[in-house]
């Protein structure tokens, strides 16, 4: 899969039953945050699941459905989630896709054929089924959940308000108006208070309509 492509229209088996992405998630106006982990009962993945579980409400409050994925069986997932709850006192509230035949993972192109495991990939998909963010992480290092939550917020504001977000953007900070493609508008923009260049015009986040903010 590539950035800005449509997410596959398919159903998957999870620890919470069968999910049809376009019916159960996008059809309800939700975003999808899908993250793959190499395997159950592995050290880095366990720490990630604990942290994703802790951040579950933060994602849910944004209208985002967290979903995990690996090529393990649903029985392995269930046993691992039980183990996490027993050892860390953290209940994993999101569904985890079981993909032992690697069919779905190959559809997303996140199978490491050498090891047979799933690549540590991330896909953020908007309610219209378009991949808005994707990333791959190494086997040896866990993901930064705070940064993934930040980029999720940024892409939601981009999707709603059609603005772009500067480096290190956080909710409440200035956004950027996309650059003009007409000469006269470029000249006009230079007269605006928050213009740094004809192609770089900042806008106060609080000036966005309420339905375009988080």
User: What is the pLDDT at residue 206?
Assistant: 96
- Give the per-residue pLDDT at 20: 98
Whether the CB-CB separation of 96 and 64 falls below 8 Å is answered with no
Distance CA 59, CA 122 (A): 14
13-38 pLDDT, tens digit each: 999 999 999 999 999 999 999 999 99
Distance CA 84, CA 46 (A): 7
Output the CATH code of domain 11-143: 3.40.30.10
Tell me the pLDDT tens digit for each residue of 109-152: 999 988 889 999 999 999 999 999 999 999 999 999 999 999 99
Q: What does the pLDDT look like over 161-189, one tens digit per residue?
A: 999 999 999 999 999 999 999 999 999 99
pLDDT, residue 166, reads 97
Which residues are identified as catalytic?
A: 45
pLDDT score for 153? 98
* Tokens matching residue 54: 């802790």
Q: CA nearest 32: which of 51, 12, 54?
A: 12
Give the pLDDT of residue 69.
Answer: 97
3-state SS, 91-129, equals CCCCCEEECCCCHHHHHCCCEECCCCEECEEEEEECCCC
- pLDDT tens for each residue of 62-98: 999 999 999 999 999 999 999 999 999 999 999 999 9
Task: Determine the pLDDT at residue 135.
Answer: 97
Q: What is the mean pLDDT of residues 37-59?
A: 97
pTM of the shown model: 0.95
State the alpha helices, DSSP H only, in the chain: 43-54, 56-60, 74-88, 103-107, 145-161, 183-189
pLDDT band at 198 (very low <50, low <70, confident <90, very high): very high
Domain-wise residue ranges, the chain: 11-143, 175-212
Instruction: Give the 3-state secondary structure of residue 19.
Output: strand
């Amino acid at each position: 899969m590539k950035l800005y492509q449509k997410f596959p229209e398919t159903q998957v088996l999870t620890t919470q039953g069968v999910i049809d992405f376009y019916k159960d998630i996008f059809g309800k106006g939700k975003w999808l945050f899908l993250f793959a982990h190499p395997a159950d009962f592995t050290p880095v993945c366990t720490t990630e699941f604990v942290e994703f579980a802790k951040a579950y409400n933060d994602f849910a409050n944004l209208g985002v459905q967290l979903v995990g994925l690996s090529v393990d069986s649903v029985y392995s997932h269930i046993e691992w989630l039980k183990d996490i709850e027993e050892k860390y006192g953290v209940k994993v509230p999101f569904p985890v896709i079981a993909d032992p035949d690697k069919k779905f993972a190959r559809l997303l192109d996140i199978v490491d054929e050498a090891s047979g495991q799933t690549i540590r990939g991330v896909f953020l998909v908007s309610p219209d089924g378009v991949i808005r963010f994707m990333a791959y992480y190494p086997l040896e290092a866990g993901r930064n959940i705070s940064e993934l939550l930040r980029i999720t917020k940024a892409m939601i504001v981009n999707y709603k308000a059609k603005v772009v977000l500067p480096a290190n953007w956080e909710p409440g900070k200035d956004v950027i108006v996309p650059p003009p493609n007409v000469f006269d508008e470029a000249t006009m923009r230079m007269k605006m208070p928050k213009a740094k260049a004809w192609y770089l015009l900042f806008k106060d986040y609080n000036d966005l309509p309420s339905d375009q903010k988080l």
